[in-house]
Amino acid sequence: MKEFYEQIIEDFNNKESFNNVFNKLDFSHNPTFILYLPRVGSTFLQQILLCTAKIGYISNLTAAFWNKPEIGSSLHSKFFNDSFISNFNSSYGNTVGIFEPHEWGFFWRKWLDIPSNEIYYNPESKINWDKLRSKLIVIEKILNKPLFFKTPYANNYFKEIDSYIVKSNVIFLFRDPYSICNSILKARKNKYNSLSVFFSSKPKDHSLVIKISNPIEQVIAQVFYIYNDLLELRSSLMRNSYITIKYEDIITKFDSTIKKILNFTDNNYEKYLKNKDLLPIFDNRNEVNFFDDKYKKEFNYFFQKYFKDFNYENL
């Protein structure tokens, strides 16, 4: 009996029957989405999980065929080996290597009707949820594993995804907000040579931050409002549909944290125990230098302004 991905490749080559295998399919598993803030190690976590769990994820190979994901995911399935170990390299969420993970921005912007990579929520989106649902079902069948997505667009569209596509599970990934704000400002400085150029994802209501002219305050507000969006979303979900993971626990409680995720995603420990000794020792990137000491007093002032009543330890 042919694997589903083999049938896809054959049908694509024949073209005439390409759509025949897509009829009357449904999800076999609930997908899992990582919902996260910028600079929390989300790519890093996904790289760990693709080495330790059986998940259907979007690789650079799959993402290259963003407008024909049936082909990209079929090629991924044909050539991917479960013994693959990530190189754990990334730069601002971008990875190098055909089986390294990808956020799949072109695909999500197309199907969520988002006109620009500078926009993370379009209140006027005209989304064909049925067609998007069908696309994701086919990808799940081709990969033959529960789907696992890491995309910043899901932060702002998760309620619709959960309602119109399929009930989904969530891994909320958090990090100390002081470290996040520092890391974003460092990224602005290193990537753009300017603190004034906006970097990474935005809260659902971008007007809350875009009107702020001071770049230090803007970054801190960016993190504050994304945190608010995610915590509000978390409070609306059934308790058994999500887990909360902190970046710091991945570093200091690696074994128990990864096992917690494996349990949540219905993975056994077989792949983890087989590959865990092949994983490198990970550094705690919270212990990094402040982005620029001359701004520290100003930074602390605005951080206290927004996060005065925020208790990270109790999240």
Predicted confidence (pLDDT) per residue in 34-74, tens digit? 999 999 999 999 999 999 999 999 999 999 999 999 999 99
Q: Which residues of 36-72 are buried (b: 16+ CB within 10 A; e: fewer)?
A: bbbbbbbbbbbbbbbbbbbbbbbbbbbbebbeebbbb
Span 71-86, average pLDDT = 94
Give the list of residues 6+ apart from residue 149 with CB closer than 8 angstroms, or none: 31, 32, 33, 34, 57, 58, 104
Which tokens sit at 43?
């790519």
On the question of pLDDT at 163 being above 90, the answer is yes
Q: Of the candidates 125, 124, 43, which has an alpha carbon nearest to the alpha carbon of residue 86?
A: 43
Confidence at residue 40, expressed as pLDDT on a 0 to 100 scale: 96
pLDDT in tens, 209-221: 999 999 999 999 9
Which tokens sit at 237?
């979900």
98 by Cβ neighbours in 10 Å (0-12 / 13-18 / 19+) ranks as: middle
Span 117-127, average pLDDT = 94
CATH 1.10.10.60 fits 30-308, yes or no: no
Domain boundaries, the chain: 30-308
Considering the entire predicted model, what is its pTM? 0.93
Indicate the pLDDT class of residue 132, thresholds 50, 70 and 90: very high
